[in-house]
Amino acid sequence: MASGDVDAELGAKLRELRENPEEMIRMGEVAGVVESLMATLKGDLSSADLKIYTELESLAKYIEAAKKEIVALRPDEVRDEYLPTATDELDAIVEATAEATNTIMDAAEAVESVMKHLEGEDVDVLGEATTKIYEACGFQDITGQRITKVIKALKYIEEKVDALVDAFGAEIENIKKDQPQEEVQKDAKLSDEDLLSGPQQKEKAKNQEEIDALLASFD
Amino acid sequence: MAVDMNMNVLIVDDYKTMLRIIRNLLRQLNFVNIDDATDGSIALQKLRQGSFGLVISDWNMEPMTGIQLLREVRADEKLRPIPFIMVTAESKSENVIAAKEAGVSNYIVKPFNAETLKSKLVSVLGDF
């Protein structure tokens, strides 16, 4: 290299990175090292130096473009909004299926209690039917276990996205500033798409009485 | 020897729905004394305090799993003879082998039906 040895500050940074191979290196740090390396190339450049300089320059541009693309994906939104929503929805599925299964079993047990007062073929038919109901209710256990596995996978993804958000914290904040959230105007008309949000979480959902009251308020 | 339908049966599962299903199916098979626990450690406590003739346990539970419960039962001189049926969604060969090595009496894969439950009970307890 034309400048001889790597400068002291850059050398210290490289040593620090080498000594902590387990730690995640921020994209900004990588870009900083590349830029510092490029800055050390001064004076008369040989053709080999020039080649290295060109390679480093293209590497810096590549890193910068990758950074912009990753930040534009808004991993903070994935972590703060989409992943918690997905987990809540899955929890709601488990809760709703458990509730439905218990109601079905309540009904089957009620049938069984009436069977004591019956005689003949009817008892066998009802007995077989209730057995089939109990067997079928086993679906709740299996779906519950499968959903638990999916929730674990989502938690793993959350950890990875969390690390990504941590690495790109400053850049994400800059993008947020450049793209202020759209303010929803109170009297703005909702589109058909806005009205399609699927079933509400139990605690947020309006019950039938509240819906009736709301409808009645228009009268 | 006839099966004592009054024996205490302990069912262990962390899903309350599954406890209820097994309890109802056992009741239909004329078992009357059915107790339950939601994990291995609670089950072990009940087994040590009471007198049980059969354990039907899930595998995947916390903090103590079904296989850990099975090992504890088989390591306990007093509890060792109790028949132990594993009822689980874990259907890999490795699981079945591990359960067998730990001393399981029989193994039922979820989802199961009443006929399978009865046939496994017969194979463990004798005809009833």
In a domain? residue B11: no
What is the reported pLDDT for A146? 92
Asked if the model's pLDDT at residue A1 lies above 50, the reply is no
Give B118 or A191, the one with higher predicted confidence: B118
Lowest-confidence region among A34-48, B61-75, B108-122: A34-48
CATH of the domain at B33: 3.40.50.2300
Rg of chain B over all Cα atoms, to the nearest angstrom: 13
- Would you mind telling me the total number of residues written for chain B in this entry? 128
At A185, is the pLDDT very low, low, confident or very high (cuts 50, 70, 90)?
low
Q: Please give the DSSP secondary-structure letter assigned to residue B62.
A: S
In a domain? residue B116: no
In a domain? residue B44: yes
In a domain? residue B126: no
Option in B15, B21, B60 nearest A134 (CB) = B21
By 3-state DSSP, what share of chain B in percent is helix, strand and coil, each rounded to 5? 45, 20, 40
At A42, is the pLDDT very low, low, confident or very high (cuts 50, 70, 90)?
low
Distance from CA of A204 to the nearest CA of B (A): 26
Residue B17 near chain A (CB below 8 Å): yes
For residues B65-80, give the mean pLDDT: 97
pLDDT digits (tens, 9 = 90+) for B3-57: 999 999 999 999 999 999 999 999 999 999 999 999 999 999 999 999 999 999 9
**Count of helix runs (H) and strand runs (E) in chain B:** 5, 5
Q: Is 0.85 exceeded by the ipTM?
A: no
Query: To 5 degrees, how large is the angle CA B35–CA B41–CA B47?
Result: 45
Residue B68 near chain A (CB below 8 Å): no
In a domain? residue B82: yes
Distance from CA of B15 to the nearest CA of A (A): 7
In a domain? residue B77: yes
In a domain? residue B39: yes
User: Residue B37: beta bridge partners?
Assistant: B12
Q: Do A102 and B111 touch (CB under 8 A)?
A: no
Lowest-confidence region among A101-115, A155-169, B80-94: A155-169
In a domain? residue B27: yes
Among A124, A141, A142, A148, the residue to mutate for chain B (most B Cβ within 10 A):
A141
What is the reported pLDDT for A184? 57
Query: To 5 degrees, how large is the angle CA A19–CA A24–CA A26?
Result: 105
Q: How many domains does the structure of chain B reveal?
A: 1
Alpha-helical segments (H) within chain A: 8-19, 27-39, 47-72, 75-77, 83-115, 121-136, 139-167, 169-178, 208-216
What is the reported pLDDT for B4? 95
Q: Which domain holds residue B20?
A: 16-90+104-110
At A27, is the pLDDT very low, low, confident or very high (cuts 50, 70, 90)?
low
- Would you mind telling me the total number of residues written for chain A in this entry? 219
Q: Is A172 exposed, middle or buried (0-12, 13-18, 19+ CB in 10 A)?
A: buried
Give A-chain residues touching B15 at CB under 8 angstroms. 140-141, 144
